Chain A
Amino acid sequence: MLTQASTSESVGGATLVNDFSIEVATVNGSGSQTANTVLMRTIFQMGVPVTGKNLFPSNIAGLPTWFQIRANHKGYKARKAGIDLMICMNPETAKEDVAKVAPGTVLIYDEPLKLNALRSDLAFCPVPFQKLVAASCPEPKLHKLVKNMVYVGVAAQMIGLDMIEVKSAIAKQLNGKQKAIDLNQAAVQAGFDWAAAEAPRQDHLRIERLDKTKGQIIIDGNTACALGAMFAGVTVVAWYPITPSSSVIEQLIDYAKEYRRDPATGKLNVAIVQMEDEIASAGVVVGAGWAGARSMTATSGPGISLMSEFIGLGYFAECPGVFVNVTRMGPSTGLPTRTSQGDVELCAKCSHGDTLHICLYPGNMEECFQFTYQAFDLAERYQTPVFVVTDLDLGMQNWASEPFAYPATAFDRGKVLDEAQLREIQDWGRYKDVDGDGVCYRTLPGTPGGKGAYFTRGTGHNPYALYSEKPDEFKATVDRLKRKFMTARTHVPKPVIQGPGVSRGILAYGSSDPAVAEARDLLKDLHGKDTDYLRVRALPFTQELEAWIDGHEVVYVVEQNRDGQMAGLLKEAYPQWALKLRNVLHYDSTAITAQTIVDQINAFEA
C-alpha cells in the first residue's frame, strides 16, 4: 500500500510530467540490467527523451549497482542529482538508499525490508515481490532473474507507462529468445496488475506520450566507435581487455563478422588479435601502421600508460595508428567502472620527450562514430598516432541519438609513394619536408622497384632516415614534427560555438556537453546570466578557438578532472589569456551535473 507522507510539501509539489529521475538499486549480476534497460527503452518508445546511467561496481556479481534513468521533455541528457522515484531491491544498500533521497520521494521496495520504519517523509510502496514472482513464474530457479522485471511492471503502472510499449521493449531487448520474452512479459504483467489493484494512485510522477524520440536510436559510445572503425576500413586491430573500453573491440568483432567478410572467400578483411598486454597491442598498431594498414586499438588510461613508449615511437618514427581511450577514473587502478576526463594531458603529451598528439574529443554518439572514422584519415594524413578520447559516460552508457549519417568522404591514405612515383623522383628522403607542411612522403614495405626502402628508427635521424646524432638535424626533426602538428589545425574538427555573443564564455569538451547545455539554460532562466559556449573537439586548437577566447572576458573551462587539464593545455598554448580562464571542475567519479556548473560559476561571480 502506498503510504502517504507526513509533511505537506513532500508529495504535495506540482506533478512532474516527463521530467523526473528514477534510481534503481540492485545487486550486480542479478539480471537487473535487462529490467532497467526495458524501463528506459519504454520511456524512449513513448517519445520522451530519456538517458540511462549505470553506476556499476568493478565486480562480476554481488556488489551493489545503481541505475539512474532521467526522463526530460526538454531533452536534457546530463545526470541530475536528486531522485524522484527510488526502487530499492538490494537489502545491503537499502538503508543508505532510503537515507539519501529527498522528502516526498516515491519508494518502491521489497516488502520484507520494512523500509517504512526508517523514515516517515517518503511515499512508501512495499511490494510483495516473492509472492508475485512465484505466481507468475512456475520455475523456482528463474525467480531471481524475473524478480527485477516485476518492479518494472509496478513502476510502469505507477508512472503511466503503456504496457504495449513495455512488452515491445522486452521483445527488443531479448531479441528473439521467445521463452525468455514470455517469462519476462508475464512478470511485468504481474507487477503491473498488482500495482493497479493494490497501490493507490500517485499523480506526482507521470510519463505522457510525446513525439520527441521518433526515428532515434539508443546506442552507447563504444558501439558508435566500433561502427566508425568498421566503416573507416580498419584492417589491423590489436587489443587487450580493459574496462571500460573492451566493448569497443568486442562490438567491432561482431560487426566485422557480419559486414567485413570477403564475399569470395568468406574470410575477414580485417585481422583482430587479442594481445598479451597493452604494450604489445600498441606495438602491433605501430608495426601495422608502418606496413600500411589502417590499425587501431582501444583501451583506457592504464593501457595508455603502458602504451606510451610505443606511442612515442609512432610519433617520432611517424607511423599512423588510432588509439581510442575510453577514460575511466584514475590515477592508478582508480575506479575502473566510473567516469573521468582525467587523461586529457596524458593523451596530448603521451610519451617521453617533447610530444604533441592529435586528439579528438567526441561529445555525443554521432561524434564517437564520425571522429573514430576521421581518426584513420588523420592518422594516415599526418603519419602519427591519433587519439580518440571518450570516457566511460559516453562509452558505456545508453544514449538516445539521431541515426548516424553515412560518412561520404573517401579515405585519405596520405602521402604514400608507389613504385611509379618513386621512379620519377630523383632524390627521395623519407623525412624530407618537400611541401613545407611538415608532412613527408612515405613508402610501404613491399613496394618494388628498389627505390623505396628506408630505415625506420626511434633514434635520431636525418631527412634521409639515416642515423644522426647531429644537434642541428635533431632540432630540425622535432621542429618539423611541431610544424606537422600545427598543419593538422586545418583538418581536425572545428569547435562548436553557440551563444548570443556576450563576454562570459563556457568552454567544455566531451561528455560534459549535456550538462553545459542544461547549465546555460539554468544560468539564464534562474540567474539572469547569458553565456556563450565553445565545445573543443580536437587538439591542436584551431583558429576559431583562438578568436573565441580572445573575444571573451571570462572563460569558464568545464572539466571532469581535478587539475583542469584542458585549461592547462590552453594556458600553455595561449599564455596571454591565462588569467581569464577559470576552472569549473567535477571529479568525484560520477558524471557531471548542470547544477555543479551553475554553482561554481555563481560562486566565481558572487
Chain B
Amino acid sequence: MTTTATAPVPTNKLGLTKQDYVGAKSTLCPGCGHDAITAQIIQAAWEMNLEPHNVAKLSGIGCSSKTPTYFMSQAWGFNSVHGRAAAVCTGAALANRKLLNIVTSGDGDSMSIGMGQLVHMIRRNVPVVYIIEDNGVYGLTKGQFSATADVGSTLKHGDVNEIQPIDPCTLAMELGCGFVARSFSGNPKQLSTILKAALAYEGTALIDVISPCVTFNNHDSSTKSYKNAKDREMPLQELGFIPYYDHEEMELADGQAMEVGLPDGSRLTFRSVGKDFDVTDRLKAMKEIHEAHDRGEFLTGIFHIETGKPVIHDFTHAIDEVLATIPQERVKPGPEVLEACMRELM
C-alpha cells in the first residue's frame, strides 16, 4: 500500500474548504467578467466564514442574475423577477433577520426596470451586499444599451449612445447609502477586499463592479471593454482588511492612512493613492467622482462608508428574533383579546 503525500486542503474557521463555497458550473460566455466576480464572492465568503445555510443569495433577471447559481450551493438561492430582487430581499430580511443577504444584479436590472426598488431599498437600509455587475449593455437580450452606458460609447454594430448615463454609486450616495464602492472585475485583489468589508457591514452595501461583456460590449469603441477599463482605471486607495477574528495590529505605514472599524469587528484600512479622498465625507466624495468622470477617469475603490446607521429593523420596531419561526402562542392573541375587540364594536 502506498500513500501519496498531499498538502492539506486549507479550511476556514468553520472547517470548510473553499470548495464548499462554490456552486454550479457557470453557463455564461467564456471570459465573462461576471465569472471573475463570482470567484471573488466565493473567496470572500470563505474568508469571512459565512455559514452557508444562513446566506440568502438573490437576483433578478439577466446574465448577472444567473450568477447566484454559481456560488455557495449550500446557501438558499432565489432568482426572482427582473429588477426586483430588492423587494424579495426586503421580504426575506423582514422574515429572518439572521440571514446574510447577497444580491447580484446588473446595470439593466438595477438602473432601469429595478431602479424604483433599489432606491427604496437603500432608503430603508435593508441589510444586503448588493452587487451590480455593470457592463453597460443588455447581454441576455443580445446587446442593447443599458442606462449606465457612457455618452459616446458604441454598440458592436456602431450605434452611439447619446443619452447620459446613471452612476449607481453617486446615486446611492445621494440616497444616503452607508457603504458605496466601485471596482473592476479585472482587479480581483481590490474586489475581494471590498466584498469582505461589505459582508462585514450592517446595512445596504452597494458595489458597482465594472464587468466587461466579452460578447456584446468588449470592442475598442466601448467605454466598458476590458482594455478601456484597464487603461483608465484609477484605484483611489490601497485597501487593507483585517477580519474580525484577527486581532493583530496592522501597521499603518504613513500619516495618510486611515482605518474604519466595521460592525462585526473587522477593520478596513485605506491609504490614498494620488488623490486626497475622504470616504467619510459624502458630499466631497460625490464631487470628486463627478469631476473624475468628466475627466474620463474610471475611479475604483471605496467611495463612502458610514457605520451605525439605523437599518430597516429599526424602522419596523419589530422584535430582534426571527419572525418567520416565532411560535403560534406568541403571535395569536387569545380569545379574551377578540372579546375585547368585539366589545369595542358593540
Q: Which residues of A in the span 287-306 have a Cβ within 8 Å of any Cβ on B?
A: 287-295
Known: A269-B319, A283-B80, A456-B79. A235 touches B346 (CB 8 A): no
Asked if A287 contacts B89 (CB within 8 A), the reply is yes
Asked if B91 contacts A446 (CB within 8 A), the reply is no
* Cα-based distance from A293 to B331 in the complex (angstroms): 12
* Cα-based distance from A433 to B319 in the complex (angstroms): 36
* Cα-based distance from A411 to B20 in the complex (angstroms): 37
Asked if A456 contacts B77 (CB within 8 A), the reply is yes
The size of the chain A interface, using a CB distance under 8 A, is 72
A403 CB contact (under 8 Å) in B54, B84, B342: B342
Closest B residue to A288 by CB, please name it. B91
Q: Which residues of A in the span 431-461 have a Cβ within 8 Å of any Cβ on B?
A: 444-450, 452-459
Asked if A445 contacts B318 (CB within 8 A), the reply is no
B316 CB contact (under 8 Å) in A230, A271, A283, A290: A271
* Cα-based distance from A448 to B319 in the complex (angstroms): 22
Q: Which of A66-74, A105-113, A190-198, A211-219 contacts B (4 or more CB under 8 A)?
A: A211-219
Asked if A217 contacts B88 (CB within 8 A), the reply is no
Q: Is A268 an interface residue (CB 8 A)?
A: yes
Q: Is A284 an interface residue (CB 8 A)?
A: yes
Asked if B322 contacts A455 (CB within 8 A), the reply is no
Cross-chain pair count, CB within 8 angstroms: 223
B345 CB contact (under 8 Å) in A218, A275, A287, A453: A218
Known: A280-B116, A280-B117. A268 touches B318 (CB 8 A): yes
* Cα-based distance from A446 to B322 in the complex (angstroms): 10
Chain A 257-285 interface mask (CB, 8 Å, partner B; 1/0) = 00110100101111111011101111111
B67 CB, min distance to chain A CBs, angstroms: 12
Asked if A259 contacts B323 (CB within 8 A), the reply is no
Q: Is A585 an interface residue (CB 8 A)?
A: no
Closest A residue to B83 by CB, please name it. A279
A270 CB contact (under 8 Å) in B87, B89, B96, B331: B331
Q: Is A574 an interface residue (CB 8 A)?
A: no
A452 CB contact (under 8 Å) in B53, B77, B342: B53
Q: Which residues of B in the span 45-66 have a Cβ within 8 Å of any Cβ on A?
A: 51-54, 56, 58
* Chain B residues positioned under 8 Å from A453 (CB to CB): 52-53, 73-77
A271 CB contact (under 8 Å) in B76, B94, B330, B333: B94
Closest A residue to B120 by CB, please name it. A276
Asked if A284 contacts B316 (CB within 8 A), the reply is no
Asked if B80 contacts A313 (CB within 8 A), the reply is yes
A251 CB, min distance to chain B CBs, angstroms: 10
Asked if B88 contacts A290 (CB within 8 A), the reply is yes
* Cα-based distance from A219 to B343 in the complex (angstroms): 11
* Chain A residues positioned under 8 Å from B86 (CB to CB): 280, 283
Asked if A262 contacts B319 (CB within 8 A), the reply is yes
Asked if A449 contacts B95 (CB within 8 A), the reply is no
* Chain B residues positioned under 8 Å from A467 (CB to CB): 69
* Cα-based distance from A28 to B205 in the complex (angstroms): 47
B95 CB contact (under 8 Å) in A218, A292, A456: A292
Q: Is B292 an interface residue (CB 8 A)?
A: no
Q: Is B317 an interface residue (CB 8 A)?
A: yes
Known: A259-B337, A403-B342. A313 touches B91 (CB 8 A): no
* Cα-based distance from A558 to B86 in the complex (angstroms): 42
A216 CB contact (under 8 Å) in B330, B341, B346: B346
B334 CB, min distance to chain A CBs, angstroms: 8
Interface centre among A235, A277, A313, A452 (most CB of B within 10 A): A235
* Chain B residues positioned under 8 Å from A454 (CB to CB): 76-77
Q: Is B253 an interface residue (CB 8 A)?
A: no
Closest B residue to A175 by CB, please name it. B344
Asked if A291 contacts B92 (CB within 8 A), the reply is yes
B335 CB contact (under 8 Å) in A216, A262, A287, A406: A406
Asked if A287 contacts B331 (CB within 8 A), the reply is no
Asked if B324 contacts A284 (CB within 8 A), the reply is no
* Chain B residues positioned under 8 Å from A289 (CB to CB): 91, 95
Q: Is B295 an interface residue (CB 8 A)?
A: no
Known: A271-B323, A456-B76. A285 touches B338 (CB 8 A): no
Asked if A291 contacts B52 (CB within 8 A), the reply is no
Closest B residue to A223 by CB, please name it. B345
Known: A218-B345, A277-B116, A310-B84. A233 touches B76 (CB 8 A): no
B84 CB contact (under 8 Å) in A231, A260, A279, A459: A279
Asked if A290 contacts B332 (CB within 8 A), the reply is no
Closest A residue to B337 by CB, please name it. A259
Q: Which residues of A in the span 186-240 have a Cβ within 8 Å of any Cβ on B?
A: 215-219, 223, 227, 230-236, 238
Interface centre among A223, A259, A270, A445 (most CB of B within 10 A): A445
A193 CB, min distance to chain B CBs, angstroms: 29
Q: Which residues of A in the span 445-504 have a Cβ within 8 Å of any Cβ on B?
A: 445-450, 452-459, 467
Known: A280-B117, A283-B80, A445-B56. A269 touches B91 (CB 8 A): no
* Cα-based distance from A264 to B337 in the complex (angstroms): 18
* Cα-based distance from A395 to B312 in the complex (angstroms): 30
Q: Is A404 an interface residue (CB 8 A)?
A: yes
Q: Is B325 an interface residue (CB 8 A)?
A: yes
Asked if B91 contacts A284 (CB within 8 A), the reply is yes
B68 CB, min distance to chain A CBs, angstroms: 8
Asked if B94 contacts A233 (CB within 8 A), the reply is no
Asked if A287 contacts B326 (CB within 8 A), the reply is no
Asked if A313 contacts B81 (CB within 8 A), the reply is yes
Question: Other than the known A292-B96, A292-B325, A317-B78, what 11 A-B pairs have Cβ atoms closer than 8 Å?
Answer: A230-B333, A232-B332, A235-B324, A236-B91, A238-B91, A260-B331, A269-B319, A269-B326, A273-B124, A289-B91, A450-B53
Tell me the B residues contacting A by CB distance below 8 Å. Answer: 51-54, 56, 58, 68-69, 73-81, 84, 86-92, 94-96, 98-99, 116-117, 120, 124, 312-313, 315-320, 322-326, 328, 330-333, 335, 337-339, 341-342, 345-346
Instruction: Write 19 A-B pairs (CB below 8 A) sorted by A numbering.
Output: A217-B346, A235-B326, A268-B316, A269-B319, A280-B86, A283-B87, A283-B88, A286-B80, A287-B95, A290-B88, A290-B91, A293-B95, A309-B81, A313-B80, A444-B325, A445-B92, A448-B51, A454-B76, A456-B80
Tell me the A residues contacting B by CB distance below 8 Å. Answer: 215-219, 223, 227, 230-236, 238, 255, 259-260, 262, 265, 267-273, 275-277, 279-295, 309-310, 313, 317, 403-404, 406, 410-411, 444-450, 452-459, 467
Top 7 A-B pairs ranked by shortest CB distance?
A283-B87, A287-B91, A292-B324, A233-B331, A287-B88, A293-B95, A288-B91
